Amino acid sequence: MQEPGQDVNLNLQSVKEHSYDAIVIGSGISGGWAVKELCEKGLKTLLLERGRNVEHIRDYPTAMKDPWDFEYRLQNTEKDRVENPVQSLAYDESCKHFFVSDKEHPYVQVSPFHWIRGYQVGGRSLTWGRQCYRWSDLDFEANLKEGIGVDWPIRYKDIAPWYDHVERFIGVSGQAEGLPHLPDGPFLAAMEMNAAEKHFKSEVQKKFPERLITIGRAANLSESVNGRGPCQYRNLCKRGCPFGAYFSSNASTLPAAMATGNLTLRPFSIVMEILYDKEKKKATGVRIIDAVSNETYEFYAKIIFLNASTIASTFILLNSRTDSFPEGLGNSSGQVGHNLMDHHFRVGAEGIHKGFKDKYYVGRRPNGIYIPRFRNISKETTQQDYVRGFAYQGGAIRHGWSETGKTPGYGESFKQQLLTPGPWNMWISAWGETLPDYNNKVTLDTGKKDKWGLPLVAIDFRFGDNEKKMRQDMKASAIEMLEKSGFQDIKGFDYSTVGGDCIHEMGTMRMGNDPKTSVLNKWNQMHDVNNVFITDGSCMTSSACQSPSLTYMALTARACDHAVNELKKGNL
């Protein structure tokens, strides 16, 4: 067995016993897509997941429970907050089993950063928010036009067919709007807005014609697709959906990969490093630690897809140090780990509307409204004090019994009061773009180790002046729209948020045209090691303001197609 940090001299017998056409590291949203595409194209593929196995339906233990079935009625305890100060920000009692233990999986916060993680087959695809929005050339061209970071090596036309490919498979419900900077896709039937939302849409678009309001584009099926769904409007998605009505690796891509007979899944496999042959100038495989036995193994493949999620993937490259790459595999540019981004959010406004008392809605729709970016689109919408923009998500609900539960009273009239819906409440909250910044970074703290003897990840991240200036407009514009739409008792908010809270971390192995300033080329292929592909959030060159997961999936499918074609040509 080779010692970590050495270039590889392969044992041929070991290679034969542990060889595959491809290795995929990570089984979340992008890793699931990688194995689906590679297996369907005929490659014998090994999927390595550092956490436990989770099988669709069988391993969703809370999916059908009612609130009163939980000991703490879906509330986190003081013990949760003390023992899991980071993860408990994202889970409740119904889904905490899909999140790691902060104590067992420590990391170093050089500055505050909340690294939310789910170590299991399916990763965070089991708990994601499911909002799906395409990017456009407004996003892909912004860095070049503004001289920020580096230019994206692709444009919308390069990825558009792959957005189509992904959306048709996962199923995205939504409304086509013809908005150039938020391209439409092959949507399933849109979910319906309620009365207050329709009113808000109508009034805002009368007074602000440049501000479109549409129903969210969500990977929740409004009709059955390939035996999955449709959505039951339970809004319990984060527990795992036994109906398969939202997209997850477990319900969708992994079963498709398994059906080919080409997939080998190995859970409890912590990837220490990617192995590199300096004579061939290629990666040859990976070295792992079995999370249960603590034994070390090596597996080999012609191509490797790194999809462990942004920060975990960064760890693997930085820990893959050899004489050829003393600063981490493929890090001749010095960019690996830098330019970390996460969306900034938790700013907006809410208000009450006293009309529509004869209107209500059915079910718990797992979706809301969406207001696409309307700043810095044209000369008329340009803000001089910041660049880029933001989008809103939101929705309207009627106050119910919980809002009046502390009202004094008794008897029949009191019960009737509790059963009578209260006024409509409308909220809108913004998600803003964060600019790439070399100083926002992920490094390794080699002086501190986890229980497997691996160095800890250290994260140093701060939002910049551009984000802070943008937040003022995010709040003010939300208040403005509610006021102009007839809502009352309006309250603006700007809650404290730090990096990681949005769980959209990206950017540490950015794509680019120049190997001196970027890590990946236009095919998500490492400039330095051309048989390693990285298609999770770490590949992103800028962050836009849209939820990024749809773009990860499209880039993954595109990169797999290129990798297999190059493999057939003998170029890998």
Q: Could you give phi then psi for residue 225, rounded to 5 degrees?
A: -135, 120
Which tokens in the block code for residue 323? Answer: 């004489």
Listing DSSP states for 520-555 in one string gives B-TTSBBSS-TTEEE-SGGG-S---SS-SHHHHHHH
Cα–Cα distance measured from residue 39 to residue 45, given in angstroms and rounded to the nearest whole number = 6
Determine contact, residues 499/467, Cβ cutoff 8 Å: no
Q: Could you give phi then psi for residue 199, rounded to 5 degrees?
A: -60, -45
pLDDT confidence of residue 2 = 37
Q: What angle do CA 506, 562, 179 make, to 5 degrees?
A: 55
Structural domains present in the chain: 1-54+120-130+133-171+247-342+505-572 (3.50.50.60), 69-99 (no CATH), 175-244+344-432+462-497 (no CATH)
pLDDT confidence of residue 413 = 79
Please name which of 454, 474, 458 lies closest in space to residue 466, comparing C-alpha atoms: 474
pLDDT confidence of residue 410 = 79
pLDDT confidence of residue 5 = 47
pLDDT confidence of residue 248 = 98
pLDDT confidence of residue 402 = 63
Tell whether the torsion through CA atoms of 240, 241, 242 and 245 is positive or negative.
Answer: negative
pLDDT confidence of residue 13 = 52
pLDDT confidence of residue 214 = 98
Tell whether the torsion through CA atoms of 202, 205, 207 and 211 is positive or negative.
Answer: positive
Determine contact, residues 559/533, Cβ cutoff 8 Å: yes
Cα–Cα distance measured from residue 273 to residue 289, given in angstroms and rounded to the nearest whole number = 10
Cβ neighbours of residue 39 under 8 Å, at least 6 residues apart? Answer: 45, 256, 257, 260, 262, 263
Which tokens in the block code for residue 414? Answer: 């009191």
Cα–Cα distance measured from residue 117 to residue 99, given in angstroms and rounded to the nearest whole number = 6
**Which amino acid, 566?**
E
Counting Cα atoms < 13 Å in the Cβ hemisphere of 27 gives 36
Per-residue pLDDT in tens (0 to 9) along the chain, 572 residues: 334 444 444 455 555 679 999 999 999 999 999 999 999 999 999 999 999 999 999 999 999 999 999 999 999 999 999 999 999 999 999 999 999 999 999 999 999 999 999 999 999 999 999 999 999 999 999 999 999 999 999 999 999 999 999 999 999 999 999 999 999 999 999 999 999 999 999 999 999 999 999 999 999 999 999 899 999 999 999 999 999 999 999 999 999 999 999 999 999 999 999 999 999 999 999 999 999 999 999 999 999 999 999 999 999 999 999 999 999 999 999 999 999 999 999 999 999 999 999 999 999 999 999 999 999 998 888 888 999 999 999 999 998 766 665 677 778 877 777 778 889 999 999 999 999 999 999 999 999 999 999 999 999 999 999 999 999 999 999 999 999 999 999 999 999 899 999 999 999 999 999 999 999 999 999 999 999 999 999 999 999 999 999 999 999 999 999 999 999 999 99
